[in-house]
Amino acid sequence: MNRFARLLLAILSFATPCLASAREIVDMAGRHVAIPDKIARVYGSSPPATLMIYALAPEMMIGLNTPYLVGEKSYLRKEAANLPALGSQAGFGRTLNPEEVMSRHPDVVIAWLDRFVDSAKAESSFSKMGLPVVFVKLDTLADYPATFRFLGDLFGKKEKAEALAAYVEDAQAGVKRAVGDIPAAEKLRVYYAESPDGLATDCDKSFHAEPIVLAGGDNVYHCGQANHMGMEKIALEQIVAFRPEIILAQDRSFAGRVMTNPFWRNVPAAKDGKVFYIPHEPFNWLDRPPSYMRALGIQWLANLFYPNRFPLDLKAETKKFYSFFLGVEIDDADVDRILGKN
């Protein structure tokens, strides 16, 4: 049997029961979508969507977008961490494999309504398989409460969704109360260092760098986001001219060596030892992928930038967050490890 015949057979075997018990909803793109009355199996077509399913209904997940590393799995529910990687429509990682997705019989696909991605193309690729696609908004942290509530209604998980949404709202409100009135001229100047050499960054108006702004920092790279991927190349001379007081580093190796790198000695943050590794395990607290981890990330940053304005018991808050959103219990040593302290 050739590839087309196998895919067609999979479509026919899946589509019939869905159509027999459909209801109609309006998704967050304003589309009318027919979905099964009861949803039990869900695929997230990109990491931000998959992480929403993980927090709200991990038992409904049929697969991951990319496989997790051993160090990441220890901070995840085992039943979710060991699911197969089925690919993704956006971001890094494996390309989407439609046959693998179909073979696990999802009831619905949750897709990110990303303004930089052709949503019609994303919808078409799954519609050909007979799978209903539901778009959700995930561009900014402010989108997450409404999206949790939307998915909670979709999955029959309203109570849990409300609790998760309320946490995100409270975190944003608390940080804004603490740092929202800092005059522009008094904000800490922050450089967001991406890539192993630190010479890639994102604009202050990019969704990739949103947590820096929410936490009251001045992302020194002032510009508008031009595409989905970001990570714009930047010269070291330009970083020197920006005079950042703090560097936030995505790459752990870069964070460890930049303070002694002679080429960076004229960057105030590197010279003063103000370089901080962004926690990644199991998911990045700020970006790549952007997710609800930012609700913890902005509290970490606000405390890092302005400890007197935003005092925080970071260990206690981290343990609370991981239990609430990720379903795992961690101890002080785990928190130190996540923060890159051991």
Report pLDDT digits (tens) over 294-306: 999 999 999 999 9
- Identify the pLDDT of residue 71: 84
> Which CATH number is 189's domain given?
3.40.50.1980
Confirm whether 11 is domain-assigned.
no
Say if residue 188 is in the same domain as residue 323: yes
Dig out the tokens for 171 from the structure. Answer: 């975190």
Confirm whether 145 is domain-assigned.
no
Phi, psi of 280 (to 5 degrees): -120, -20
Quickly list H helices, the chain: 3-20, 47-56, 70-73, 78-81, 98-103, 119-127, 144-155, 158-179, 210-214, 236-242, 252-257, 268-271, 294-305, 314-321, 332-338
Confirm whether 310 is domain-assigned.
yes
- Identify the pLDDT of residue 5: 47
SS3 content of the chain, % helix, strand, coil (to 5): 45, 15, 40
Give bridge partners of residue 249 from the DSSP assignment.
193, 277
Q: From 196, 278, 199, 273, select the one nearest 240 (Cα to Cα).
A: 199
Question: How far lies 189's CA from each of 20, 245, 255, 290, in Å?
Answer: 58, 5, 17, 22
Q: What is the mean pLDDT of the chain?
A: 90
Q: How confident is the model at residue 20 (pLDDT cuts 50, 70, 90)?
A: very low
Phi, psi of 75 (to 5 degrees): -110, 25
The yes-or-no verdict on residue 137 having pLDDT over 70 is: yes
CA torsion, ordered 148, 54, 56, 27, to nearest 10 deg: 40
* Domain end call among 138, 159, 191: 138
- Provide the terminal-to-terminal Cα distance of the chain, rounded to the nearest Å: 53
CB 240 within 8 A of CB 267: yes
At position 160, the amino acid (one-letter code) is K
Distance CA 291, CA 176 (A): 19
CB 63 within 8 A of CB 85: yes
Say if residue 118 is in the same domain as residue 187: no
Say if residue 188 is in the same domain as residue 128: no
Q: What is the pTM of this model?
A: 0.91
Burial class (CB in 10 A: 0-12, 13-18, 19+), 191: buried
DSSP 8-state class, residue 90:
S
At position 125, the amino acid (one-letter code) is S
The yes-or-no verdict on residue 251 having pLDDT over 60 is: yes
Confirm whether 314 is domain-assigned.
yes
Of 59-73, 115-129, 145-159, 243-257, give the lowest mean pLDDT range.
115-129
Asked if the peptide bond before residue 132 counts as cis, ω within 30 degrees of 0, the response is no
Say if residue 80 is in the same domain as residue 211: no
Distance CA 222, CA 144 (A): 25
The yes-or-no verdict on residue 11 having pLDDT over 50 is: no
Q: From 97, 99, 86, select the one nearest 7 (Cα to Cα).
A: 99
- Identify the pLDDT of residue 17: 45
275-277 sheet: strands from edge to edge: 218-219, 189-193, 246-249, 275-277
Confirm whether 250 is domain-assigned.
yes
Confirm whether 319 is domain-assigned.
yes
Distance CA 330, CA 322 (A): 7
Q: How confident is the model at residue 290 (pLDDT cuts 50, 70, 90)?
A: very high
Say if residue 103 is in the same domain as residue 200: no
Confirm whether 14 is domain-assigned.
no
The yes-or-no verdict on residue 6 having pLDDT over 80 is: no
Confirm whether 159 is domain-assigned.
no
* Domain end call among 82, 105, 138: 138
In total, how many domains does the chain have? 2
Say if residue 231 is in the same domain as residue 311: yes
- Mean pLDDT of the 308-337 span: 97
Say if residue 214 is in the same domain as residue 322: yes
Say if residue 219 is in the same domain as residue 113: no
Say if residue 196 is in the same domain as residue 330: yes
Say if residue 102 is in the same domain as residue 210: no
Say if residue 232 is in the same domain as residue 299: yes
Q: How confident is the model at residue 175 (pLDDT cuts 50, 70, 90)?
A: very high
Quickly list H helices, 188-278: 210-214, 236-242, 252-257, 268-271
- Identify the pLDDT of residue 126: 81
Dig out the tokens for 277 from the structure. Answer: 């590794």
- Identify the pLDDT of residue 122: 72
> Which residues constitute the domain of residue 309?
181-339
- Mean pLDDT of the 30-47 span: 94
DSSP 8-state class, residue 2:
-
Say if residue 241 is in the same domain as residue 114: no
- Identify the pLDDT of residue 93: 59
Residues 6+ apart with CB under 8 A from 96: 45, 86, 87, 88, 89, 125
